[in-house]
Structure 1
Amino acid sequence: MSTMHHDDSFDIESRKPEMVMSYNATKGGVDSMDQMCHALTTKRKTNRWPMLLFYNLLDLASIASLVIWRKLNPDDKLSGEDDRVLFNLAIAKALVLPQLERRQAQTNLSRNLRYTINTALEDDTAKTRPAEEASVSTDSTATRKRGRCCICRRQNDN
């Protein structure tokens, strides 16, 4: 239903209502948005309708933000025609980065998680932190048995 058309006028050539002709003339944006959503989507199989709604909103928001980014930054490397994957990855990293930095500051993280966060942040201190933490030993850590490396596989044991 359209709120723009209030009368029962018809197009003479096609003998269709003006409301239908107006819809057909302006539906291209919806079709291209649907096509872009299906080409690269975040949707997953779920039986919960709020999750379906969330996935759909996430797809629509990523496409809308890409369109705005391309208008504001036409010369950027993420503004190319086929760079939607790179744009989505850049958005994801920008959204996750503050949380990763907060988690990295916590002292009670496991070595594996700290290594994963440092790898994701591409932090150069990832290699020096375990050595610094090992050099500072307290009485409780000195009596514990040394654990195995959580990064290396058991195949590398000598």
Structure 2
Amino acid sequence: MNFWYYLSTYIMFEIVYTSVMIPYNTLPVEMTDDFDQRTYLAGSKAMFGKVANFLGTALPGFFISIYGQDSPTPFFCTGVAYGAILIVSMILLYTNFWERPSDEVEDESVANVFEGFKKLFMDILPTLKIRTFRRHLGMYLFGFGAEWLFTAAFT
């Protein structure tokens, strides 16, 4: 296919991926105030994420070893497998999550988009003053950066 096909499919993938992952990453905080329960939820999410990352890395190689490097079939099979995994995980997520009552959730509203961005950055900047947060942010970025590099190189 041509450049525009690949660009548009990549953009569509990133939009869907982002629309799924942002709410998914914030679920433990929204589901409970109990620290132990939030830790359990976040740990479970991380564990399943690592398994999914391994599968995401291994599946293309598995299909390429079956169908060969010159065939387009491994890429189609990989896409179907990724889609099936996503559908199953979304069904499990939908059937096993809960929300706090709406009266427990603080409503924050802003006048316009610019005020929203201003509030976002004003809320983020103070966290960068915390040394432990900066260390954890660095570990996160370097850890996932290495993981993404490994995934790209392995595939």
Relative to the length of structure 1, the TM-score reads 0.26
**Larger C-alpha radius of gyration, 1 or 2?**
1
Structure with the higher fraction of residues in helix conformation: 2
TM-score by length of 2: 0.27
